[in-house]
Structure 1
């Protein structure tokens, strides 16, 4: 299938470019406090860069299962399934045949909506069921990039979809890290991980720790603290457990740049969010947009989702999709100016 770019616009000052390869958000142009248009999404100028080995999922739709599954194994109704192992001893982001590497069918019915669909065959990546997936990107009049996910399967399966856009509200051409961004997350707990970044099944309170963003705090203010969880994640790479009720669309996070004044509010129906600070970006490649290298911690991700390794932890919210059910979830990334 041919790679195509689609541009979404609305009645205000925002423009989003998306490719049908991986359903990837290629650029997000928003106005800063001076009225300049700034691109705040890390990415590439060409398709081949998105297809290279170990590419960090820039802007991609992630599935069938976002995040990690321990040793790539899970069971449904007594039957064990083995997934591709692609992240140390574990399975990550659906494997090499994940949705980030698929060409999606695309339809743009108007200037502010893009409809993407794809098919994942029974057994692909080790997952059961023929899965039909639809993702709708749309721009709201409030400068929100809304993502509506839906899926159906002909076999009982698991699913956990998310988006892997890396943001830098200073602008991708600023050549800065994201440690000076101010972040707030409405979560009292994180999902504890082990040294392979797999969920232990425990939740850890964030109060009085480096993980506490209940009140606005610079991302970099405590990222180098001596904390086992920060060591395991090489920084922040953890699922925050929201205080809101699962299934309700509510504001869960807010971040802004004092440099540009650009703000980002996150609304979601999901029970959690992987906050990731680009700890494995290296800056070794200079094939980013406009020749940018994307060094260590030059982008952050706010991946709304269910919890990692949920199929192996009955105490976590379920990621099982039964035959006849429809998986549905909505997330909105809403941009503005911090006054």
Structure 2
């Protein structure tokens, strides 16, 4: 493994994890961003498999959460409201009546402290102060990125709140494994028997079987074929923007995505009970890296997490953390080249 390379990036820095296969993941102290993820396709050509911008200012002003760490609460909380015990809390609402991705307390806009713990690992830390966006207490966040020699990017998320609060962290990288301007030709497989059926505001209503629906990705399908179905859930969201249910908190493989022309495959494993598959439905003429325009379905996200709005569901206790119960979450994004 090569030593971590550090470079200035406007008022911020970029730290490059590079293995001996030439895979390189560039991570910034701005938002814990995955700025670039370079790997080789099946022909040996170097490719950046994530969407992004050129400058920190574009990330700070962007509305699509490209590449950033997300929290204190990833995804949505209905009406920004929840209760713990007898006390009610009101969070800032930044998506209509929803609290989304931490709102103004979002981790993706914070400057993180970065420590190179070895030549393959970065440790990032930051704080959310009590009262930011309505959160009840101070929360310390730690995220470790590790790139292995077999092209696996492991992420360990931890949070240490000073009082009881909901926490749900994730990574919001948009992937595109091919050369096309959209990901519609990508083949996706998700190992889940159920997904969360949502209302018109993308708030889960109940877990529903995937069988006989375009959400049955157990054997896999090409994204455009799934989107081609007439389905109210897809129509409401403009595509896939749903959480698949795994239930187990053991580390397990949950998804893989393959692009046939590049031969690049992305495999995901996690210890979380859910994963949001988002097919980039709201990208709309977004000015991205190298003067590219990102439009609908230009990238996809695989966001491992607990359930959206879980803090208002029957299993709410599982997403409440405090001084004696800190938050932890593991995910591995592994890249390889293979024929389908």
Q: TM-score surpassing 0.5?
A: yes
CA contact (8 A) 1:42 1:59 kept: yes
What residue in structure 2 maps to residue 187 of structure 1?
192
CA contact (8 A) 2:183 2:223 kept: yes
Runs in 1 of length 4+ with deviation above 3 angstroms?
Answer: none
Matches of 2:88 and 2:236 in 1, distance apart? Answer: 28
What residue in structure 1 maps to residue 320 of structure 2?
320
1:132 to 1:315, Cα distance in 2 relative to 1, 3 A: closer
CA contact (8 A) 1:157 1:321 kept: yes
What residue in structure 2 maps to residue 258 of structure 1?
260
What residue in structure 1 maps to residue 108 of structure 2?
100
Matches of 2:116 and 2:323 in 1, distance apart? Answer: 29
1:302 is the counterpart of 2:306: no
- Residue 175 of structure 1: CA displacement? 4.2
What residue in structure 1 maps to residue 36 of structure 2?
27
Deviations 1:154-174, CA, capped at 9 Å, x for gaps? 10111000000000000xxx3
What residue in structure 1 maps to residue 3 of structure 2?
none
Matches of 1:316 and 1:227 in 2, distance apart? Answer: 29
Matches of 1:157 and 1:123 in 2, distance apart? Answer: 12
What residue in structure 2 maps to residue 162 of structure 1?
170
- Residue 315 of structure 1: CA displacement? 3.9
Matches of 1:55 and 1:95 in 2, distance apart? Answer: 11
- TM superposition score normalised by structure 2: 0.94
Deviations 1:275-324, CA, capped at 9 Å, x for gaps? 000000012x43x1111111110100000000000011014672110322
Unaligned ranges ≥5, structure 1: none
- Residue 329 of structure 1: CA displacement? 1.1
Matches of 2:317 and 2:238 in 1, distance apart? Answer: 26
CA contact (8 A) 1:306 1:317 kept: no
Q: Which one of 79, 90, 98 corresponds to residue 87 of structure 2?
A: 79
Matches of 1:316 and 1:255 in 2, distance apart? Answer: 31
The farther-off stretch of 112-121 and 102-111 is 102-111
What residue in structure 2 maps to residue 273 of structure 1?
275
What residue in structure 2 maps to residue 48 of structure 1?
57
What residue in structure 1 maps to residue 7 of structure 2?
none
Deviations 1:132-184, CA, capped at 9 Å, x for gaps? 110011101220111001111110111000000000000xxx34210110111
CA contact (8 A) 1:307 1:316 kept: no
Unaligned ranges ≥5, structure 2: 1-9
The farther-off stretch of 100-109 and 296-305 is 100-109
Matches of 1:27 and 1:292 in 2, distance apart? Answer: 15
Alignment of 1:214-233 (within 5 A): 214-233=218-237
Q: Which one of 233, 238, 243 corresponds to residue 239 of structure 1?
A: 243
CA contact (8 A) 1:138 1:146 kept: yes
CA RMSD of the aligned region, Å? 1.4
1:39 to 1:317, Cα distance in 2 relative to 1, 3 A: farther
Q: Which one of 159, 176, 181 corresponds to residue 176 of structure 1?
A: 181
CA contact (8 A) 2:72 2:105 kept: no
- TM superposition score normalised by structure 1: 0.94
CA contact (8 A) 1:22 1:100 kept: yes
What residue in structure 2 maps to residue 9 of structure 1?
18
